[in-house]
């Protein structure tokens, strides 16, 4: 960040808004993969469970984005909420990487 003296609202817009968009992007991509492909390295139950967790995270994310927008981008999100999303995105990245590797064989 170039200016550590940004007011809180500007800091939230600068940092949180793009982060929420990134989460939305990766959850959407992951959901598409899990809904349209049968992943050979996962059981059907594992894939269904991961898809359910992605859908739940999307619902939580949509609620957080609505609150963020409704408060004119003046409300933050607790790290206790963000960290599970980050961990889920990382898990989805690993699944997508394994899927690509399996297709290359």
Contact criterion met (CB below 8 Å) for 30 and 87: no
| Higher per-residue confidence, 94 vs 9 | 94
Q: CA angle 45-49-53, nearest 5°?
A: 170
Contact criterion met (CB below 8 Å) for 27 and 61: yes
pLDDT tops 80 at residue 11 = no
Residue 89 to residue 30: CA distance in whole angstroms: 8
pLDDT tops 80 at residue 88 = yes
This model's pTM is above 0.85 = yes
> Binning pLDDT at 50, 70 and 90, where does residue 75 land?
confident
C-alpha separations of 14 from 20, 23, 53, 81, 86 in Å: 11, 15, 28, 19, 18
Backbone angles phi, psi at 78, to 5 degrees: -65, 145
């Amino acid at each position: 960040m170039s200016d550590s003296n940004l007011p809180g609202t500007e800091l939230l817009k600068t940092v949180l808004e793009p982060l929420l968009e990134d989460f939305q992007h990766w959850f959407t991509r992951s959901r598409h993969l899990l809904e349209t492909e049968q992943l050979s390295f996962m059981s059907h139950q594992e894939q269904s469970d991961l898809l359910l967790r992605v859908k739940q995270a999307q619902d939580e994310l949509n609620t957080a984005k609505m609150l963020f927008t409704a408060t004119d981008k003046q409300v933050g999100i607790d790290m206790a909420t963000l960290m599970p999303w980050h961990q889920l995105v990382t898990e989805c990245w690993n699944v997508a990487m394994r899927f690509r590797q399996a297709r290359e064989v």
